Amino acid sequence: MDLERAGRRLNDVLFPPSRCLCCQKKLPLREGLCEECAAELIPLRFSETLPPENVVSAVSAYSYDKTAKALIHAFKYKGWFDLPLRLLLPRLTEELKKAAFPVEAVVPVPTNLPRLYSRGFDHTYLLAKQLGKALGLPVYRRALRRRWHGRRQVGLGAAERKENAVLIYGRGPFPDGVIGKNILLVDDVTTTGSTASACAAVLLTLGAKGVYLGCLAHTPGVS
């Protein structure tokens, strides 16, 4: 898995896409996005809405609309690593620095094992790792775990997401790092907040002092 991931990253750097990752328009320069799609990358501060239950405060970078959705899908499902994060992550880092949350460590929302092995990488860990490096914080990858039972959150309604999230997230094999600390929980997309709420509840049960949330994108109009 590590060799495959390294190969994909090298391909991302040496051979960036010749077409826009959003609309597939041919690009004169291999920058990932055409000017039109880049202009549709809409900033959205999650802090302008109520944070999810069990979360002290939350920050997002963009609205989960056309361009942000295409970049995140390219990152998660199409094997592009560095480029989507280079386009999306700086704003999230900037917003987190502005928010000045008193966080002491980063914890990614866990990915289930079948999906991790099918992709060959853990996308939320890669995101958390980059944020941890930018913010100077340790990353506790295995404080939480994704249980086998439960359905995928994608496609579920708000009530179903909340019920399902409680079932699928639990204590990881190495939770001690969160004890007594304010934790930055990291995810790529927040829709209803059920996943963040369930993960935050587990972290608080494990002894975290407080839980804050940072995500690349947030579905507009949903809190």
Q: What is the pLDDT of residue 169?
A: 86
Q: Please provide the average confidence, as pLDDT, over all residues in the chain.
A: 80
Q: Which helix (H) or strand (E) holds 20?
A: none
Label the pairing between strands 210-218 and 58-63. Answer: parallel
Handedness of CA 13, 186, 73, 90 (dihedral sign): negative
Query: How many Cβ atoms sit within 10 Å of the Cβ of residue 113?
Result: 12
Provide φ and ψ at 143, rounded to 5°: -70, -30
CB 56 within 8 A of CB 36: no
Q: What is the pLDDT of residues 126-165, one digit of tens each?
A: 899 999 999 999 999 999 998 765 555 555 555 665 555 6
Mean pLDDT of the region 172-188: 95
Q: CA-to-CA distance for 129 and 106, rounded, in angstroms?
A: 8
The domain 41-218: what is its CATH number?
3.40.50
CA torsion 73-109-177-4 (nearest 10°) is -40
Q: Which residues pair with 26 in a beta bridge?
A: 19
Mean pLDDT of the region 78-99: 84
